[in-house]
Structure 1
Amino acid sequence: MGKLKTIGLILAGLAMLAACGAAAVESTPKNGACQDVQDRDRIVDALGYFPNRLSPLGAAVLCNDAAGVERALKGGASPNAREPGGETPLLIAAAIPRTDLLKRLLASGGDPNSWEKDARTLALHYALSAGVQRDDWSAWDVLLASHADINFRPPGGATIAEDAVSLGAVDKLLQLLDRGYHVDPARLVRELEAVRYDANTEPLRLQAIERVRALMR
């Protein structure tokens, strides 16, 4: 009976360890990726794939490892350095989003106007997507508060207002207009006229068309 009791205690201890491991939000980065990451689906939705070759800073952001982010920054890592997939650590933080880490990267010289190398996707676009898909507007609010240039168009890419039209976030387009968006209003009107939304969003589209047309006068 003593032996069976010992085995039972060992099994109970292993079960407790497993439960503690399952409760962890993220694990430590290893070889440029997270091990047993808990929000893998969220990352894939945000970035379009799961990165497995990242810099120490990029991997720490992906894994939600604040201590790792601090170590990398103190070691001289840049929030704006390109990762193999074309993103930067700041873009990764904006996309998932990892808002506390995004704030830290911005405070360390991260560029709120940064954009992905291939698709020319803005940090604001990633934050907008997180809001539309997850109803998480934290990164969007942080980037706007950090004076991201809402009129910036990356080479070969779209402005954030054009992205708002394509994602159906017309309320955010109106917010951008309130903040002084003014780039190529004729193009923006054409894009607004080419789309149709649901009954709740359609009145906002019509309002946005009038607002943008006023910029052309």
Structure 2
Amino acid sequence: MQKTLALPISKLARAGWHQLSFKIMSGESTDVDKEAVNDWYKQLPNILKDFEPDDIFNMDETGLFFKCLPNKTLADRKEKCYGWKNSKLRLSVLVGANNSGTEKLKLLIIGKFRRPRCFAKNQQLPVQYCANKKSWMTSSIFEEYIMLDLDMKFQHEKRTVLFFVDNCPAHPKNLVSKLKAIKLVFFPNNMTSKVQPMDARIIKDVKAKYRTKIVNKLIGID
């Protein structure tokens, strides 16, 4: 194996018959205890038994570099392509939906400024917006969103729902006793990469659709 890795990259690229490929190394999933994951899945039927798929929700936060543009384009083979330095301006986005896929929660966007100038002419946003200095999710933002927006919404609809969320400091556990229509369940520690449904391409697809809309706007396609 050591001799194979010592080959020049050009030769490795041609060594498909040796079942070799270049992959991104990710350390997060290697820290997950497989036995703990199996135990979690064994507990799930008991947690879900009192809820219909329409009333089982999951949500997760992600970062969005909202000004970043694609770094690839179509061009003539002989043409030189010059790029630019991508913007580091970042938003946090909370994405949520139910198990059956019939109900998507309105996106919660966390920005840096409470009243951005771009909102001056847009009083009704298609998303919910709040802000802090670092554009991060905080326990106060999460608590306000869950209690004042979601819990009140489901109380009005006379529904009792189940919410799966990550186990992190921004999701305070003392919130469980304050909710009336929502039952909060926290994923076990260090298992997000294996048990978080929103990481199963849902967040990736949201970002892809956003990028598509940005590019379409720049080239004049509605």
TM-score (norm 1): 0.25
Flag the structure with more relative contact order, 1 or 2, with Cα contacts below 8 A and sequence separation at least 6: 2
TM-score (norm 2): 0.25
Instruction: Judging by fraction of residues, say which structure has more helix.
Output: 1
